[in-house]
Amino acid sequence: MTKTSPLVKFIIWLVLSSAAGCGMVIMAIYLYLVPNLPDTEALRDIELQTPLRVYASDGLLISEFGEKRRNPISYADTPPLFIQALLASEDDGFFEHSGIDLKGLTRAAVELVRTGKKKSGGSTITMQVAKNYYLSSEKTFTRKFTEILLALKIEQSLSKEEILELYINKIYLGKRAYGIEAAAQVYYGRSIKDLSLAQLAMIAGLPQAPSAANPINSPKRAVDRRNYVLARMRNLDKISEEEFQQALREPDVARYHGPTTEVDAPYIAEMVRQEMVDRFGDQAYTGGYSVYTTVNSKRQTAASKALQQGLINYDREHGYRRSEPEFSLVELTPENDNPLLREWFAAADSRFDIDWPSTLEEWDNYIRQQGDFGLLTPAIVADVRKDGAWTYSDNGFLWLPFSGMTWARPYLSVDSVGQDPKNALEVVSIGQKIWLQKTANGLELGQMPKAEGAIVSLNPNDGGIEALVGGFSFSANKFNRVIQAERQPGSAFKPFIYSAALANGFTPASIINDAPVVFEDASLENTWRPENHNGKFYGPTRLREALYKSQNLVSIRILKQIGTRTAIRYVEPFGFDGKKLNNDLSLALGSSAVTPMELATGYCVLANGGYAVKPYLIQRIEDDQGTRLFTARPAVVCRDCDDTDDTTEAEIMQPAEAPLIATEEPDTFALAPTAIDAFEPTPEPTKAELDDALPIIPAAQVMDPRIHYLMVSMLQDVVRRGTGKRALALNRHDLAGKTGTTNDQKDAWFSGFSPDLVTTTWIGFDQPQTLGRWAFGSNTALPIWVDYMKTALEGVAEHPFEQPPGIVSVRIDPETGELARPGQRNAIFEYFRQEDVPTEVSPSEKNNAPGDYSTNEVIPEQLF
């Protein structure tokens, strides 16, 4: 029997002691860490941070907000080929191991002992799930041991498919994309289910270095990683040789795709964002809420284009503001001191002596920094000739012909422009920043308008916002003029004064003297001498005629007769703040500042039969599971409703967890009657079902139907024969509205409607200044309205305004407003409330011929 040498015994003892010591350390770590491990069952109900998404009423995406772009996808909906690519890249033994890879961990430990550096972590996908959902990214042994123990626990609680689903939805893949579906959208603009094999391999290879080696930041590294994943798939026989070779040859087309917005409505998106933050705080950005608005995507798109084109047209009419060149072409320089090379450069034509890579790099940086400006695209002039210019934009080099610049007469002042340009050299210069616009006539020179505008379109039957654009470009200026800009509406406010007059004894045939007046009022700083926009006076005028001709002095006189306080009390229920309305006669001319939204709200009453509605934007809010949290309950025009609903605003805004259908006994719910032998409790109704079952809230009627009909008929005459004639281009008979222009043409308005849609447009400068001598509501704001309504009412049948009982039509003398004489040839028909029909017959000859009030010889009437 041989004796074991003392050295061998020592070595054996040392190994056993070390193993025992390691075992005790591991046991101690295990006993220390296990009690603190989280419950992995909670992973089944984990809530991933997903962004806030805003949709139009038809489900098209308007915008999304949140630091993390995420689109959760189920394991069942994930392409099997992607699963194979992911496992080949990250963990090919995933379906065999129990959560940890002993071989990989051992290899990592040996590398750490041998080199002193951590080269590989030996992490499995399960371990990465444990780290991503529960642990930090700190590199400590305690964190690693906890990760291993958690992985083992997760494997006991969840199936392999559930673990993979958690992983593919949580993992960061660069460019704010979390999860594979978000990454597919960010890099390729498509769903993961629509990607090719090469693209799937690209996404599968991103987890290793998502920021440094994604196909946008580092295309070459990303393609190398993609090819490695493909090679691994081939070695594991997951793809054929033919598939492998074809995928290797496929060029990568990845580029950054921002949020895939389908509707251009940034001002709407910002309104929703502010409302959601008010309701949910910072959780609004991470809770995965989906907000469905009242916005009609077709009308919203039309509104954006109409407003932009209208502002561009106005700006062009006032001339081109040429800017100085800001960029220079980078010229080539000799790389050494060769005299012959220097001599060649000196003699070379400078037009062809350009370092284009360096030049375009600078230009690209500028273009990338520009936002979205809708119809206009930023560009830089690269070369100019007489017949046009080469320009550089995000679409590369584009030829801008001189025919697209002929409009560019130099701007001299708001009322004058210079001569027509003779060639392109007179318009643009090399290195100049310009704007381009694609039109039906080809590429044209554009210009960023200095004037601003707004357009808002409401459903008059419930106040739903159908379209809203708060300015030319949200990228250039986030000020929302629809709800923030308070401007004088001018004559666009007159319909409300006329409505008050009709409710206080006036008729459309009432005769008012359109003659000069002067005011000496203590509330006014100076003597006020109002006049009509053309400086003329028309003498005795019927109320109807005065409205469609927009005669200021008639408006002042009728307001004087009914009283400003009476008028304010009358129009307040239309949606105006009475405290903001001027309590003096200037109210008749629209001197009280209102927002376009407030004016449109008032016009809803004129469009819907006399009912007050409030604008609203959010139809419903859903959580990330599709559960409805909020449903709007606006007051709705209901002509057949007799009973009113006393539901309070607090009840309308109740949270989803509020008690539902409670019976007399607390904490119980009503049960539907069932057969005794098959008695089963009825499932508790969802909030969505309860919301849908609630009765409507009838809108309050604030205008007599007969007054409403008279007012609408007068506003229809504004379109048929007055300042709103341009609206006749729509070839409809159910349109009405009113233009508005303020003093010195600082604001131009048109508010018009059909029974189905109310739209208000406004144009002006943010810092009030004149739009020009010839700028009026009729030729500046109205064309935008017409352009928009052409699309907005497409396919909408004409809907005549119904004549209510108590309205009669009689023949009158147009000069006196009294009943026409038998056989009178110039008699016209006029509408009256039955009790307001004239009783006197017009005399056969007028006692007084209408005077000429157009001269300054007439002594103004003093009104105090």
Question: The CATH number of the domain where 591 resides is what?
Answer: 3.40.710.10
Nearest to 657 by CA among 684, 694, 696: 684
Report the pLDDT value the prediction gives residue 354, as an integer from 0 to 100. Answer: 72
Q: Please, what is the angle between helix 180-188 and helix 160-170, to 10°?
A: 40
What CA dihedral angle connects 426, 428, 434 and 436, to 10 degrees? 70
Q: Compute the mean pLDDT over every residue in the chain, rounded to the nearest whole number.
A: 81
User: Best-predicted range by mean pLDDT among 359-363, 713-717, 836-840, 857-861?
Assistant: 713-717
Same domain, 783 and 661: no
> For residues 854 and 366, which has the higher predicted lDDT (pLDDT)?
366
Q: Is the pLDDT of residue 2 over 50?
A: yes
Same domain, 122 and 183: yes
Q: Are 853 and 514 in contact (CB under 8 A)?
A: yes
* DSSP secondary structure string for all residues of 65-112: E-SSEE----TTTS-HHHHHHHHHHH-TTTTTSSS--HHHHHHHHHHH
> For residues 503 and 345, which has the higher predicted lDDT (pLDDT)?
503
Q: How many helices (H) and strands (E) does the chain have?
A: 24, 27
* CA distance linking residue 298 with residue 757, whole number of Å: 14
Same domain, 817 and 741: no
pLDDT in tens, 754-769: 999 999 999 999 999 9
Query: Exposed e or buried b for every residue in 634-648, given b needs 16+ CB within 10 A?
Result: bbbbbeeeeeeeeee
What residues make up the domain containing 101? 68-249
Q: Are 722 and 492 in contact (CB under 8 A)?
A: no
Question: 249, 273, 305 — which closes off a domain?
Answer: 249
CATH number at residue 385: 2.40.50.140
Which band of pLDDT confidence, cut at 50, 70 and 90, is reported for residue 792? very high
Same domain, 783 and 818: no
What CA dihedral angle connects 543, 544, 547 and 550, to 10 degrees? -90
Report the pLDDT value the prediction gives residue 668, as an integer from 0 to 100. Answer: 31
pLDDT in tens, 119-136: 555 678 777 777 665 544
Residues 63, 64, 89, 90: which is the catalytic one?
A: 90
The domain total for the chain is 5
Report the pLDDT value the prediction gives residue 15, as an integer from 0 to 100. Answer: 64
Instruction: For residue 537, tell me if it sits in a domain.
Output: yes
Same domain, 750 and 814: no
Rounded to an integer, the average pLDDT of 20-33 is 49
pLDDT in tens, 390-445: 999 888 889 999 999 999 999 999 999 999 999 999 999 998 999 999 998 899 99
Q: Which two tokens stand for residue 837?
A: 């029909």
Same domain, 737 and 655: no
What number of other Cβ atoms are within 10 A of residue 530's Cβ? Answer: 17
Residues 89, 393, 473, 491: which is the catalytic one?
A: 491
Q: Are 400 and 443 in contact (CB under 8 A)?
A: yes
Same domain, 667 and 728: no
Q: Is the pLDDT of residue 503 over 50?
A: yes
Structure-token match 């409805």, residue found? 628
Same domain, 381 and 415: yes
Q: Are 831 and 488 in contact (CB under 8 A)?
A: no
Structure-token match 């090379």, residue found? 341
Instruction: For residue 14, tell me if it sits in a domain.
Output: no
Report the pLDDT value the prediction gives residue 150, as an integer from 0 to 100. Answer: 74
Please state the length of the chain. Answer: 864
* CA distance linking residue 185 with residue 199, whole number of Å: 12
Q: Are 509 and 543 in contact (CB under 8 A)?
A: yes
CATH number at residue 225: 1.10.3810.10
Q: Is the pLDDT of residue 509 over 80?
A: yes
Instruction: For residue 25, tell me if it sits in a domain.
Output: no
Is position 89 annotated as part of the catalytic site?
Answer: no
Cα-based distances in Å from 588 to 583, 703, 829 = 10, 19, 27
Instruction: For residue 570, tell me if it sits in a domain.
Output: yes
Instruction: For residue 503, tell me if it sits in a domain.
Output: yes
What number of other Cβ atoms are within 10 A of residue 718's Cβ? Answer: 28
What CA dihedral angle connects 596, 589, 838 and 611, to 10 degrees? 20
Instruction: For residue 569, tell me if it sits in a domain.
Output: yes
Structure-token match 């419930």, residue found? 462
* CA distance linking residue 720 with residue 786, whole number of Å: 14
* CA distance linking residue 513 with residue 505, whole number of Å: 17
Rounded to an integer, the average pLDDT of 352-361 is 73
Same domain, 531 and 570: yes
Question: 424, 446, 468 — which closes off a domain?
Answer: 446
Rounded to an integer, the average pLDDT of 624-639 is 91
Same domain, 133 and 211: yes
pTM given for the model:
0.77
Is position 90 annotated as part of the catalytic site?
Answer: yes
Report the pLDDT value the prediction gives residue 860, as an integer from 0 to 100. Answer: 39
Q: Is the pLDDT of residue 142 over 70?
A: no
What number of other Cβ atoms are within 10 A of residue 275's Cβ? Answer: 15
Same domain, 76 and 158: yes
What number of other Cβ atoms are within 10 A of residue 366's Cβ? Answer: 14
Instruction: For residue 13, tell me if it sits in a domain.
Output: no
Report the pLDDT value the prediction gives residue 677, as an integer from 0 to 100. Answer: 38
Which band of pLDDT confidence, cut at 50, 70 and 90, is reported for residue 645? very low
Instruction: For residue 524, tell me if it sits in a domain.
Output: yes
User: Best-predicted range by mean pLDDT among 140-154, 282-296, 327-341, 351-365?
Assistant: 282-296
Question: 221, 249, 277 — which closes off a domain?
Answer: 249
> For residues 729 and 861, which has the higher predicted lDDT (pLDDT)?
729
Same domain, 205 and 229: yes
